[in-house]
Homo-oligomer: A and B are copies of this chain.
Amino acid sequence: MGDAARKAREVGVVGDATLRGFLGYHIKRAMAVLQADLNKVLKPFGLRMVTYSALVTIVDNPGLRQAQLADALAIERPNLVVILDELEGAGLITRDKVPSDRRAYALNPTLKGRRLAEQATAANRADEARLLQGLAPADRNRVIEVMNQIEHGPGGAQS
């Protein structure tokens, strides 16, 4: 480390050259911005990131069971309970007894839930478009491909 770097630090600049060498570091920093931003957009709807994800997944998959939802969202079952309590308490979903298995509950959105999900999704789309303005669709798709490779392994194998 040279004098320039030492001097820069004295006026408040700290280098992160080594960390910048990792793709994961860039992704982590971007993710922090995305998460803060998303929660700000969702706040007026009374939703957080997890409650939004849960609601949208229930709207997309009406009738699914809690264990299935927990799997899809990578949430532990006990933690999902309070999230669903919140959505049910807000009148956005119902827990309906399923006749064929009296242990289970089928999760269904209410009309209010479907409408709120639609509005929140529109708001999120608008916000993401703002964050990504000027980004070519091809580049966006490329990024998605890379994220999927990271998630599922090279070649896109589903693990």
Q: Is the interface of A mostly helix, strand, loop or mixed?
A: helix
Q: Which B residues touch A14, using CB under 8 A?
A: 57, 61, 64, 68-69, 71-72
Chain A residues 47 to 81 lying within 8 A of chain B, measured CB to CB, are 53, 56-57, 59-64, 68-69, 71-72, 74
Interface size in chain A (residues, C-beta < 8 A): 63
Closest-by-CB residue of B relative to A148 is: B26
Residues on A lying within 8 angstroms of B by beta carbon are: 1, 5-6, 9, 12, 14-19, 21-24, 26-35, 38, 53, 56-57, 59-64, 68-69, 71-72, 74, 121, 124-125, 128, 131-135, 139-140, 142-144, 146-151, 153-155
